[in-house]
């Protein structure tokens, strides 16, 4: 197992937002390296319990090693989009007191070049959070039609040069296979140049490929609906997003669930017409003091909602 560490973002804010009841039942849908899970457990009594999920087998192995001996703790290799099933299997019927989703990738995933998430170190183009499932970035880039490449870069990366980069990938792959993160990063840089001072030109496309390969937006949409379902009245939903696409979906879902009436198209459908959630406060961002020790917290946005009776 790797030694890469992850510094949890907004740690105190998460604990406060969850409004932890010592005897309560909690779900951490994105265990990572367990910084938040550990803080939740520290506030639970012997009667409280925590179920953590992660779709990355390395995160689950780290969780078993770190917290596996605690009888109040369980960890499952699974997707938070299927949390209703995992909560049922866990044996909790009366609803949860709180759910945390700390979205995106962990530092261990980003920092390990073998996972292929980052252009900072050269590694195989993989980018799957669960390497046992689905199609790797390399396989997708080798096969995807130019239009699909363009759409993904535009939709999930908001990359204005999406079309140009897609064209360049298609031209290049006719001559050589795209195998590594370094190769792709150089291709993008050669195609659009360095336009922003502090941002690598491949940043947006790497984000887009990661979101696509892991089907992140669909899982988030389903996960939010299931979260609302498995909370008990008064239970808290806390979600930390790292880019505007995620935050927009979280914000819209909470807003829609907080108003009576029919939900609109393109957002998760909830069968109940009564308001089911109330938003708690406004979006929360990391403080200057946190940013000074953890620059990765810069893009974090936390939203809180409470399930209504």
Ligand X SMILES: C[S@@+](CC[C@H](N)C(=O)[O-])C[C@H]1O[C@@H](n2cnc3c(N)ncnc32)[C@H](O)[C@@H]1O
Contacts with ligand X by CB under 6 A lie at 6, 8, 29-30, 32-36, 53-56, 59, 79-81, 102, 104-106, 129, 219
Smallest distance, ligand X to C-beta of residue 290, A: 13
Give the CA-trace dihedral at 9, 13, 15, 16, to 10 degrees: -170
Q: Which residues partner with 277 through β-bridges?
A: 307
Smallest distance, ligand X to C-beta of residue 47, A: 24
Our CB check for ligand X shows the closer of 56 and 306 to be 56
Our CB check for ligand X shows the closer of 82 and 139 to be 82
- The residue at minimum Cβ distance from ligand X is 32
Smallest distance, ligand X to C-beta of residue 264, A: 24
Smallest distance, ligand X to C-beta of residue 33, A: 4
Our CB check for ligand X shows the closer of 66 and 186 to be 66
Closest CA to 100 of 116, 125, 83: 83
The end-to-end CA distance of the chain, in Å, is 44
Give the CA-trace dihedral at 242, 246, 249, 250, to 10 degrees: -40
Q: Which residues partner with 102 through β-bridges?
A: 240
> How far apart are the C-alpha atoms of 190 and 114, rounded to whole Å?
24
Smallest distance, ligand X to C-beta of residue 273, A: 28
Our CB check for ligand X shows the closer of 8 and 268 to be 8
The token pair at 175 is 């001559």
Smallest distance, ligand X to C-beta of residue 79, A: 4
Our CB check for ligand X shows the closer of 30 and 294 to be 30
Our CB check for ligand X shows the closer of 188 and 302 to be 302
Closest CA to 140 of 57, 210, 221: 210
C-alpha atoms less than 13 angstroms from C-alpha of 224 in its C-beta half-sphere: 32
């Amino acid at each position: 197992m790797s030694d890469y560490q992850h510094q949890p973002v907004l740690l105190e804010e998460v604990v406060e937002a969850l409004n932890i009841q010592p005897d309560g039942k909690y779900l951490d849908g994105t265990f990572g390296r367990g910084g938040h899970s550990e803080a939740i457990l520290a506030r639970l009594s012997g009667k409280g319990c925590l179920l953590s999920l992660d779709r990355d087998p390395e995160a689950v192995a780290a969780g078993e090693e770190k917290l596996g001996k605690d009888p109040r703790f369980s960890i499952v290799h699974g997707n938070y989009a299927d949390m209703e099933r995992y909560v049922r299997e866990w044996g909790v019927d009366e609803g949860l007191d709180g759910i945390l989703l700390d979205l995106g990738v962990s530092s261990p995933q980003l920092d390990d070049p073998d996972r292929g998430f980052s252009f900072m170190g050269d590694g195989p183009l993989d980018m799957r959070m669960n390497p046992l499932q689905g199609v790797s970035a390399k396989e997708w880039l080798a096969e995807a039609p130019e239009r699909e490449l363009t759409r993904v870069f535009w939709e999930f990366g908001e990359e204005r040069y999406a079309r140009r980069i897609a064209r360049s990938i298609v031209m290049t792959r006719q001559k050589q296979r795209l195998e590594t993160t370094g190769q792709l990063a150089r291709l993008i840089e050669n195609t659009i140049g360095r336009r922003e001072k502090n941002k690598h030109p491949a940043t947006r496309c790497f984000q887009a490929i990661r979101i696509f390969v892991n089907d992140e937006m669909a899982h988030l949409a389903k996960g939010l609906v299931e979260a609302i379902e498995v909370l008990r009245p008064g239970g808290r939903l806390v979600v930390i997003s790292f880019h505007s696409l995620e935050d927009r979906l979280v914000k819209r879902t909470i807003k829609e669930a907080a108003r009576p009436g029919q939900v609109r198209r393109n957002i998760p459908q909830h069968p109940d017409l009564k308001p089911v959630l109330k938003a708690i406060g406004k979006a929360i961002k990391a403080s200057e003091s946190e940013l000074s020790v953890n620059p990765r917290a810069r893009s974090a946005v936390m939203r809180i909602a409470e399930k209504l009776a």
